[in-house]
Every structure is written in structure tokens, then in C-alpha cells.
């Protein structure tokens, strides 16, 4: 394995020159720089990570805490991981993973052993037990998610409150006046995961503002849970013509359950989702998409900014973007019951050529 000394010899310069060529921390003449790069390539040189960390106090590694417990929707977690790793590599960093259940100890170890330059913590809950500890960390930290009290912490997330409002506004704009919200499993609310609570809040406020009748239901990710939720919603509000779904795991069974109950989407009922883009696309759903890639990227950038001593905004709330697809349409004329209205509307709004599908 080539060392910096070998490169220096090969390029006929000193080791510091090689080091400075690599770090760019002092001007090097075009000529020597090229010569050095040439030698680096020739020898396949890569700096020893440990030595570098020891000398520079930088590991070029991020620690990423990921949740593994049930209740989280795994594909989304993976999207975050993927986004963080990808961005990290773009800025020449690697990613060390910790599982959430290592708890504070994992974070502590990473800090004390200088295993990473910064931490990125996923799945932060409203009243996360780790918050006090996170505030005491010396290592720069970025939270993906938003606790109730975020003071002293750097957070990034989709603005779920705005997302909820955006969904309801979309339906209200289309003339819907009676809307249901199907949310996360009950346990998620109990854990007070930020996004679930916030979406509900955003939807509720918007409903009040827009004078829309609203009913809300948590929903377990099982066929029974879905049927239950649909029954409840339609039972309480037979005239409901709009539905907001914030639960990735139940999109498919939900659509099936509606079909079973004789409600066609979007003719009888308009559906708006909050979730990952691929799901929304697959089911042709109007949706506020969870920008996992953007969030992961921002998290890395916020970490880098802290490492660069820049002043970083404590809160980064990404504005929701709603993409209109085939699952929502203006409210049709019927009023009192759910009897399907067929005909023109159906023809007009069925799957059309040119619609994006996965």
C-alpha cells in the first residue's frame, strides 16, 4: 500500500506538498500539482484514514442512526439511507450506521472514539427520549424529523403541517366539503412521531379555515385495520367525497377496500396521499411526495456546514409540493349518498394515455 512518502518521492516533492495538493489548503503551482496527481494515480495512493483522522481531527465519516423497530415503513428508511450515503460520497465522506436501539450509548461511543465527524439521526419523535442527550453532544448533529421542542438542535424535515394543509386545500379547491383523514397506526401516534401528529394538525386547521367537515382515523397496516377505518369514515360521513391518506403501508388495501364498498376513485371519492413518490406514481395518486432524497441531502449538507463552522439554520422545513394525478377531481353533483355517478365523469377521468405510470 502506497504511502504519502512514496508519492512524495515519486513526484520529487516533499510530503507536505502532497498533503497540500490533496487538501488544497495552500497554493501549489499548476506544474507540481499535476506531477503529484500523476504519481498518486500511478501508485494508486489513498490516504490512510486513521492517520488522517489522528492528525487532522477529521474522519470524513458520518454516523447515521437508523430505526429498525416495527411501525416504520422500511422502504422509506432505505430511501433516506440511500440519499445520505449518496450525498456523503459526493463530499468524500463515508457513512457508519448505528441502530436506533443502541440508544445514547452508540452516539456516545462514536463521539468519544472519534469515529465520525458528525451524526445524522433519523426517526426523531416529538418527545424523543434522546433529546437531552443530543443537546449535550459535542459532535455536530442533524436530526431528520422534528421534535416538539427543537431548541438547540438542527433539524430538517418535510413541513408536514403544511403538507396536511396542502392536501386539504387541494380537496377544498376541488369543491369537496366533507373529507376524511386516514393516518398512521395508532402506536405511531402514541409514540408521538412528529410527522403523524403534524399532518393531523395541518389538515385540521385547514379544514377549519376552509369550512370543510373532517373526520380522522388512525389505521393499522392490516387488511382488517383498513376495512375498519373505511367503515368508520364512510359510516360517520356517508357524504364524504375526499380522502387524505398518510400511511404508506396501506395505500393498496385502502384502494381495494374503497372499490369493495362501491366507491370509485376519483369519481365518487378523491384521494390525496402523503408519501414516497414511487408509491404515489404506482397508484396514480395525487400526492404530496415525501422528498426523502432532498431531506437526506440536506441533512448531509447541514452537517458539512456545521463542520465548516458556518452558521446553520436550526430548522429546515421543506415546503410540500403537491403533484396532481388521476386520483382527485372536482366534486361531482351528487350530494346525499355515495351512489356512484357514472358517465361523462368516468370517461373524462379514467386512466388516460400519457399518464405517468411506474
The residues binding DNA (CB under 7 A) are 1, 3-5, 12-20, 22-23, 25-29, 31-33, 45, 47-48, 51-52, 54-56
Residue 77 binds what, of a copy of itself, DNA, none (CB under 5 to 8 Å, by partner type)? a copy of itself
Residue 74 binds what, of a copy of itself, DNA, none (CB under 5 to 8 Å, by partner type)? a copy of itself
Classify residue 281 by burial, with Cβ atoms within 10 Å: 0-12, 13-18, 19+: middle
Residue 16 β-bridge partners: none
Where does this chain touch a copy of itself (CB under 8 A) — which range of 82-90, 225-233, 311-319, 326-334?
A: 82-90
The verdict on 260 binding a copy of itself (CB under 8 A) reads: no
**Nearer to DNA among residue 49 and residue 324 (C-beta):** 49
**Nearer to DNA among residue 19 and residue 270 (C-beta):** 19
The verdict on 81 binding a copy of itself (CB under 8 A) reads: yes
Here the cell at position 289 is 411526495
Q: For the CB of residue 114, give the shortest distance to DNA in the complex, in Å.
A: 8
Residue 22 binds what, of DNA, a copy of itself, none (CB under 5 to 8 Å, by partner type)? DNA
Share of the chain residues as helix, strand and coil, in percent rounded to the nearest 5: 45, 15, 35
Alpha helices by DSSP H, listed for the chain, are 4-11, 15-23, 30-43, 49-56, 74-90, 103-112, 131-136, 160-173, 186-190, 194-210, 223-236, 251-260, 277-282, 292-307, 344-349
In Å, how far from its chain's centre is CA 228? 28
The verdict on 277 binding a copy of itself (CB under 8 A) reads: no
The verdict on 96 binding a copy of itself (CB under 8 A) reads: yes
Residue 346 binds what, of DNA, a copy of itself, none (CB under 5 to 8 Å, by partner type)? none
Residue 66 β-bridge partners: 99
Q: For the CB of residue 171, give the shortest distance to DNA in the complex, in Å.
A: 55
* 28-57: contacts with a copy of itself (CB under 8 A): 44-54
Residue 61 binds what, of a copy of itself, DNA, none (CB under 5 to 8 Å, by partner type)? a copy of itself
Distance set, CA 214 to CA 33, 164, 181, 227, 352 (Å): 66, 12, 7, 19, 31
Here the cell at position 103 is 440508544
Q: 260: Cβ–Cβ under 8 A, 6 or more apart, which residues?
A: none
Amino acid at each position: 500500500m502506497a504511502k504519502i512518502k512514496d508519492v512524495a518521492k515519486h513526484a520529487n516533492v516533499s510530503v507536505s506538498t502532497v498533503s497540500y495538493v490533496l487538501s488544497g489548503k495552500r497554493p501549489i503551482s499548476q506544474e507540481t500539482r499535476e506531477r503529484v496527481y500523476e504519481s498518486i494515480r500511478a501508485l494508486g495512493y489513498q490516504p490512510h484514514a486513521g492517520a488522517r483522522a489522528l492528525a487532522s481531527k477529521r474522519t470524513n465519516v458520518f454516523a447515521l442512526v437508523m430505526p429498525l423497530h416495527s411501525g416504520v415503513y422500511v422502504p422509506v428508511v432505505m430511501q433516506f439511507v440511500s440519499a445520505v450515503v449518496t450525498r456523503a460520497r459526493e463530499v468524500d465522506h463515508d457513512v457508519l450506521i448505528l441502530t436506533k436501539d443502541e440508544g445514547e450509548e452508540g452516539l456516545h461511543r462514536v463521539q468519544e472514539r472519534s469515529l465520525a465527524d458528525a451524526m445524522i439521526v433519523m426517526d426523531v419523535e416529538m418527545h424523543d427520549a434522546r433529546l437531552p442527550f443530543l443537546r449535550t453532544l459535542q459532535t455536530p448533529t442533524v436530526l431528520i424529523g422534528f421534535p416538539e421542542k427543537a431548541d438547540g438542535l438542527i433539524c430538517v424535515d418535510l413541513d408536514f403541517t403544511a403538507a396536511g394543509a396542502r392536501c386539504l386545500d387541494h380537496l377544498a379547491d376541488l369543491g369537496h366539503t366533507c373529507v376524511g383523514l386516514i393516518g398512521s397506526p395508532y402506536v405511531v401516534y402514541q409514540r408521538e412521531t412528529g410527522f403523524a401528529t403534524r399532518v393531523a394538525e395541518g389538515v385540521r386547521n385547514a379544514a377549519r379555515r376552509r369550512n370543510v367537515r373532517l373526520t380522522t382515523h388512525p389505521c393499522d397496516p392490516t387488511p382488517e385495520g383498513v376495512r375498519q377505518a373505511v367503515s368508520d369514515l364512510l359510516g360517520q360521513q356517508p357524504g364524504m367525497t375526499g380522502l387524505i391518506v398518510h400511511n404508506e403501508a396501506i395505500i393498496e388495501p385502502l384502494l381495494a377496500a374503497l372499490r369493495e364498498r362501491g366507491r370509485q376513485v376519483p369519481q365518487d371519492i378523491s384521494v390525496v396521499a402523503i408519501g414516497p413518490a414511487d408509491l404515489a406514481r404506482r397508484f396514480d395518486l395525487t400526492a404530496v411526495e415525501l422528498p426523502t432524497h432532498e431531506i437526506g441531502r440536506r441533512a448531509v449538507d447541514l452537517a458539512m456546514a456545521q463542520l465548516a463552522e458556518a452558521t446553520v439554520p436550526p430548522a429546515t422545513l421543506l415546503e410540500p409540493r403537491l403533484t396532481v394525478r388521476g386520483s382527485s377531481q372536482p366534486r361531482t353533483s351528487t350530494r346525499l349518498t355515495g351512489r356512484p355517478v357514472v358517465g361523462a365523469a368516468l370517461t373524462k377521468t379514467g386512466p388516460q394515455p400519457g399518464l405517468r405510470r411506474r
